[in-house]
C-alpha cells in the first residue's frame, strides 16, 4: 500500500513540473539533469554514507547546477546545436559518476542497477526514523515534500510562469523575476528528479516528467489544462501500472512507464480519429 502512495507522489510531483519543462521545450534537459546528478549523489554518499540526509540533495543540486552552467557556457562558445552540447555534458558527468561508483563499490551500498532501474519495490523498507520513532517509509516524506514544493511553486507563480512560457523576453520586459523563476525551475527539477530517481531509476524519471506532460499538451492549449491533464494522466497511469505490476509480478517502474506511453498513444490516436471523423 505504501508503495502505491510512493508511486502516486512521484507521479504528481514529476508530472506537475514536467508540464512546465515540456512547454518550455526543455524535456531533454530533464534527461540530462537526472544523469548529471550521479557524481553528486556518489560524493554525498561517500561523505555521509546514507541517503537520509539533506546533504545528499545539496550535492546533487550542486552537480546539476554545474552541468547546466557548463552547458550554457558551451552553447554560447561552441558553434554546434544545443542538443549536442547537452549530450556531451551529461554523458561526461554520468561517466564520472559510474567510475566513482566502480572504484568505491566496496564501501558504498550504491550500485549501477539501482541507478538505472530504481527500486520502488524496496522503498517501503527504507524507513525514516526520528528520535527512535518510526515515521513510515522515507520516500513518502521526501516525495511528499517535493509534491508540496512543486504545487506551491506552480500556484504561487502561476501567472508569471504562464507569461514566461509564452514569451520569456516579454516577461523580462514587464519586470517579472525571470532569472529567479528559471533558477527555481532548475532547482525543483533537480530536487524532484533526485527524490524520484531513488524509486524510479534515472531514465524512467524522464518518463514521469515527459509522458503525462505530452499527453496533457495534446489535450489542452492552456497551461492550466496541461497541468491538470498531466497530473490526472500521471495518477491514472501509475495506478494502472502499479496494478499490472502487482498482478504480474513485474517491475513497477517499467509497468508505470509502459502504461503512460500507452495512454499517450491512445490520446494521440483518438485525437487523430476525431479529426478524421469531423472532416468526414
Partner 1 sequence: MGIFSIVNGVYVMAGSLLLGALGGLLGVFAVLRKQGLLGDVLSHAALPGIVLSFIFLGEKNLPILILGALVSGMISALLIDKIVASTRIKMDGAMAVVLSWFFGIGILFLSYLKRMENVSPSGINDFIFGQAAGMLQLDVVLIGTVFGLGVLHVLIKWRQIKLMIFDRNYAHVMGVNHRFNEVLLTVIFSFGIVISLQAVGVVLTAALFITPAVTALFLANSLWATVLWSVTFGMIGGVTGAYLSVMYRDVPTGASIVVVLSLIFILVVLFSKKGFLMKMLEGFRYRVRVSYENAVLSCYRMMESGDCPEMTVKKDLVKGGVLVKLVAWRALVKKKLVKFVGGQWVLSKGGLEFGRKLIKKHRLWEVYLANKLSMDAGKVHLEAEDMEHILTDEMVVRLEKMLGNPKVDPHGKQIIS
Q: Which is nearer to partner 1, 60 or 176 (by Cβ)?
A: 60
Rounded Cα distance, 96 and 230, in Å = 34
Binding flags for partner 1, 148-187, as an x/- string (CB under 8 A): ----------------------------------------
> How many residues form the binding site for partner 1 (CB under 8 A)?
64
Binding flags for partner 1, 44-83, as an x/- string (CB under 8 A): ------------------------------x--xxxxx-x
- Residue 102 as a binder of partner 1 (CB under 8 A): the answer is yes
Task: Read off the C-alpha cell for 15.
Answer: 508530472
Under DSSP, is residue 66 helix (H, G, I), strand (E, B) or coil?
helix
Rounded Cα distance, 13 and 145, in Å = 9
- Residue 274 as a binder of partner 1 (CB under 8 A): the answer is no
**Site stretch for partner 1 (CB under 8 A), options 51-59, 168-176, 189-197, 200-208:** 200-208
The minimum distance between CB 174 and partner 1, in angstroms, equals 26
Contact 4, 58 (CB under 8 A): no
The minimum distance between CB 152 and partner 1, in angstroms, equals 25
Task: Read off the C-alpha cell for 234.
Answer: 500521471
| DSSP symbols for 190-204 | HHHHHHHHHHH-HHH
Contact 134, 144 (CB under 8 A): no
Please report, for residues 123, 141, 159, 248, the alpha-carbon distance to residue 1 in angstroms, rounded to integers and kept in the order given: 11, 15, 37, 16
Phi, psi of 4 (to 5 degrees): -60, -40
- Residue 264 as a binder of partner 1 (CB under 8 A): the answer is yes
The minimum distance between CB 161 and partner 1, in angstroms, equals 18
Q: Which is nearer to partner 1, 44 or 245 (by Cβ)?
A: 245
Task: Read off the C-alpha cell for 256.
Answer: 508505470
The minimum distance between CB 272 and partner 1, in angstroms, equals 7
Q: What is the largest CA-CA distance in the chain?
A: 68
Q: Long-range contacts: 72-77, Cβ < 8 Å, 24+?
A: none
The minimum distance between CB 56 and partner 1, in angstroms, equals 21
Contact 260, 207 (CB under 8 A): yes
Among 46, 145, 172, 203, binds partner 1 (CB under 8 A): 203
Binding flags for partner 1, 10-49, as an x/- string (CB under 8 A): ------------x--xxxx-xx---x--------------
The minimum distance between CB 94 and partner 1, in angstroms, equals 6
- Residue 260 as a binder of partner 1 (CB under 8 A): the answer is yes
User: CA geometry: angle at 39 spanning 189 and 185, to 5°?
Assistant: 15
Rounded Cα distance, 194 and 192, in Å = 5
Q: For binding to partner 1 (CB under 8 A), which residues are involved?
A: 22, 25-28, 30-31, 35, 74, 77-81, 83-88, 91-92, 94-96, 98-99, 102-103, 105, 112-113, 116-117, 201-204, 206-207, 209-211, 213-214, 217-218, 245, 248-251, 253-258, 260-261, 264, 268, 271-272
Amino acid at each position: 500500500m505504501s508503495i502505491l502512495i510512493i508511486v502516486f507522489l512521484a507521479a504528481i510531483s514529476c508530472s506537475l513540473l514536467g508540464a512546465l519543462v515540456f512547454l518550455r521545450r526543455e524535456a531533454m534537459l530533464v534527461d540530462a539533469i537526472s544523469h548529471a546528478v550521479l557524481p553528486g549523489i556518489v560524493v554525498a554518499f561517500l561523505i555521509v554514507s546514507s541517503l537520509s540526509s539533506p546533504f545528499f540533495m545539496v550535492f546533487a543540486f550542486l552537480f546539476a547546477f554545474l552541468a547546466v552552467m557548463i552547458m550554457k557556457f558551451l552553447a554560447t562558445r561552441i558553434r554546434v546545436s544545443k542538443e549536442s552540447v547537452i549530450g556531451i555534458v551529461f554523458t561526461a558527468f554520468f561517466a564520472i559518476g559510474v567510475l566513482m561508483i566502480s572504484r568505491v563499490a566496496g564501501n558504498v551500498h550504491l550500485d549501477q542497477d539501482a541507478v538505472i532501474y530504481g527500486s520502488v519495490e524496496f522503498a517501503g523498507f527504507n524507513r525514516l526514523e526520528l528520535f527512535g520513532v518510526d515515521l513510515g517509509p522515507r520516500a513518502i516524506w521526501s516525495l511528499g515534500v517535493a509534491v508540496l514544493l512543486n504545487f506551491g511553486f506552480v500556484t504561487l507563480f502561476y501567472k508569471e510562469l504562464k507569461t514566461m512560457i509564452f514569451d520569456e523576453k516579454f516577461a523580462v520586459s514587464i519586470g517579472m523575476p525571470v532569472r529567479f523563476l528559471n533558477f527555481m525551475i532548475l532547482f525543483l527539477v533537480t530536487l524532484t528528479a533526485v527524490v524520484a530517481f531513488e524509486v524510479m531509476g534515472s531514465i524512467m524519471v524522464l518518463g514521469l516528467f515527459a509522458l503525462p506532460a505530452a499527453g496533457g499538451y495534446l489535450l489542452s492549449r492552456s497551461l492550466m489544462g496541461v497541468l491538470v491533464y498531466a497530473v490526472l494522466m500521471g495518477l491514472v497511469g501509475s495506478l494502472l501500472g502499479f496494478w499490472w505490476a502487482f498482478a504480474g509480478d513485474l517491475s513497477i517502474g517499467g509497468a508505470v512507464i509502459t502504461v503512460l506511453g500507452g495512454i499517450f498513444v491512445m490520446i494521440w490516436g483518438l485525437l487523430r480519429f476525431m479529426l478524421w471523423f469531423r472532416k468526414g
